Chain A
Amino acid sequence: MQDVITVMKFTIKDMVTRKSFIISTLIILVMIVIGFNVPNIISSIKGEETETKILIVDSQNIFEGSLSLINSEDLNYEIQVGQNTFDEIKEKLENGDIDSAIIVEENENTIKMRYILENMSMMDSVPEDIITALNSLYTNVKISKLGLTEEQIKSITPNFEFEIESTGDEAQGNIFLMMFMSIALFYAIYFCAYQVSSSITTEKTSKIMETLVTSTSPKTIILGKTIGIGLVGLLQMVLLVITAYVCANAFLDKELLASVLDVSNLTIGFVLITFLYFILGYFTYAFLYALTGSTVSKPEDIQSANGPVAILAVIGFYLSYFTMLNPTSSLNAIASLLPISSPFCMPFRIMMGLANTWDIVISVLILFVTILLIAKIAIKIYSSAILNYGTKMNLKDIFKIYKDKNN
């Protein structure tokens, strides 16, 4: 146990004092601060935010003077009504007095709206809300001529109410927050675990491993290393979350923050269970990476050796991502049981109220057994891998080493 702590402390010190670690952490922190300031930065570049100015020209008086009423509707535009010529409009656009203009013309019973911009880009189209506003304005002008009573007008104006309901289990809670958490879990687990592989490969490529395994047991090395790197990862995560929390409170609109990050569902129990899944998920991937890291003896082989684990992680992530998009589908059962995806999707399902106690117990048990199994293989391969300074081991070699009792 003392040795595990020694290995763990050395791993932690070695990681956090490394320049690359300090710089990359600082860059991420700076990016978070900048990210939360993007709205402020944009507005400070643009200056005071102003409404888009649209000039509507109705020289044939098709709207019978009612166009000025359009400003009373809740649109994000400043509408001007005028009788300008095309050349005058062009001049106003060039001077920046207006952002766009609409010319209303009637010929042979059709009403044509010409939407005029200074420069047209691929994305430009006539704003939907202006079309709707002009449509209803025109309808009102025409209806008012029919001499209908207030009641009659009301009865033909649709006022539908839409609601979404489902017949299956209903998901509750803040989906946005949970998706964010699941993605954060994935990145935290994946990148921390990856460090285990690179740490082991460094020891193999720098040939210190033989000295190391005669100083303590392979089990101690792998365990100490994995816990150490996990703690550094956790520390990094805590640092990022605190920075994000401080920035969100300092730079974001409070109302927006409350609606996006509704933390009312976050109970202590839920935080603990998320933490448990983080730890189990981390150990699953960390031991997988310890296994692949042990098979490599040259730095150029690291990428290809780690490839299979990366594929498993991506499959796990997408499985849980699909279940988030469709929280009540049957794919969920698979995603919650498979150890490669359950750490990412179970916290989400628990929060959505879609997992019962048995689901949690079974998924945790499966994760636990998987970890023990992978750890056993990883330690065995690691112990034997000091003899392998040649080419990268393939699956057949790994299997052979595992079965070889003489090693």
Chain B
Amino acid sequence: MALVLKNVSKTFTGKKAVDNISLEINQPGVYGLLGTNGAGKTTTIRMILGIIKKDCGEITWNGKQVDRKSVNFGYLPEERGVYPKTKIYDQLMYFAKLKGMNKQDADASIKKWAQKLKVEEYLNMPAEKLSKGNQQKIQFMTAVIHNPELVVLDEPFSGLDPVNTEILKNIIIDLVKNGKYVIMSAHQMATIEEFCSDILILDKGKTVLKGNLKDIKEQYPANRVQINVNQDITKYIKEFGLEIENEKNEEFMIKLTNEEVAHKLLNRLVENKVTVNKFEIMKPTLNDIFIEKVGE
């Protein structure tokens, strides 16, 4: 199974929202769509799901056109919404039925997911009585209740507390284990780094970076060294002309221009009998790469 986008573009009233993007997802996993606000992530997602028509290009799932009937997908939109006055159970049942489930299967699925997401006690309440985070979990349930092959999550973690973020993270990991294809857009780079095998960074509708996250990071030279010591080593650092990015409890984060200097610094510290508890040369984080690509 594979989702393929080939040279897809979309223009809204003269402004190119998505400009000639291509991507391919051909194995289960989490695919990350990154970009600043207004970069074209939601438009791309909407085109993949056929909510809006593309101007040109091709979008296929297993070689077929993507639409409601041919692809069993689940979608958590960025614009969160629930029926405020309707019982949670009734609205979940409604969406499950619209997605083709029968009553028994839907009932079993609702109960299973409610247990997983810890919202069982709210099933008979109207949505307006739930907290925002819980409403979001309910909406997540509507996206996965029918066991879709392709799950599209637009900013799934925004507005969730750490406890619920953890619950949702584990669920997404489970989805991948069960062979699901997940497309996720997010602002939290740390989250994307945790999950995503492949990423695509958009800026003003254009692809600025695309590929396997590990491969991308490999291409970047180390840019930091983290040193934990038992004394102030500022003078040694200054000696090599290095810049301290952050210093806290005798743990130094130092910016690097090349790895060689870091090794020289370590040697110097050892020579001077400084106890080094930790010394780690670090690759740039996704956050660094993202800011480098779209920051200016």
Report A's interface with B, CB cutoff 8 A: 3, 6-7, 10, 13-14, 18, 202-203, 206-217, 386-387, 389, 406-407
Q: Cβ of B139: which chain A residues have Cβ within 8 Å of it?
A: 211
Distance in angstroms from B235 CB to nearest chain A CB is 57
Q: Closest B residue to A384 by CB, please name it.
A: B52
Q: How far is the CB of B247 from chain A (nearest CB, A)?
A: 45
In the complex, per-residue mask of B73-107: 1 if CB is within 8 Å of any chain A CB, else 0: 10101011111111000100011011100000000
The reply to whether A389 and B79 form a contact with Cβ atoms under 8 Å apart is yes
Bound Cα distance A255, B29 (Å): 80
Beyond known contacts A208-B83, A215-B95, A406-B55: 14 more, CB 8 A cutoff: A7-B98, A207-B77, A210-B75, A210-B79, A211-B75, A211-B77, A211-B142, A212-B98, A214-B49, A214-B68, A214-B77, A215-B98, A387-B52, A389-B79
Contacts of B81 in A (CB 8 A): 203, 206-211
Would you call B86 and A14 a contact (CB within 8 A)? Answer: yes
Which residues from chain B contact A214 at a C-beta distance below 8 Å? Answer: 49, 51, 68, 73, 75, 77
Give Cα distance in the complex from A226 to B225, angstroms.
65
Set B55, B68, B82, B85: member contacting A215, Cβ < 8 A: B68
Nearest Cβ distance between residue B84 and chain A, in whole angstroms? 6
User: What residues of A have a CB within 8 angstroms of the CB of B99 in the complex?
Assistant: 215
Residue of B nearest to A405 (CB): B53
Chain B's interface: helix, strand, loop or mixed, by majority? loop
A211-B77, A213-B51, A214-B68 known; A206 and B95 CB under 8 Å? no
Whether the pair B85, A3 counts as a contact (CB closer than 8 A) is no
Min CB gap A394→B, angstroms: 15
Chain B residues with CB below 8 A from A215, complex form: 68, 95, 98-99, 142
Q: Which of A6, A208, A389 contacts B82 (CB 8 A)?
A: A208
Do residues B80 and A207 form an inter-chain contact, with CB atoms below 8 A?
yes
Q: Which residue of A lies closest to B11 (CB)?
A: A406
Q: Which residues of B contact A216 (CB under 8 A)?
A: 68, 98
Q: Which among B75, B77, B98 is the interface contact of A3 at CB below 8 angstroms?
A: B98
A-B contact pairs, 26 of them (CB 8 A): A3-B98, A6-B98, A10-B90, A14-B85, A14-B86, A14-B90, A202-B83, A203-B81, A206-B84, A208-B81, A211-B75, A211-B77, A211-B95, A211-B143, A212-B98, A214-B49, A214-B73, A214-B75, A215-B68, A215-B95, A215-B98, A215-B142, A216-B68, A216-B98, A386-B51, A407-B53
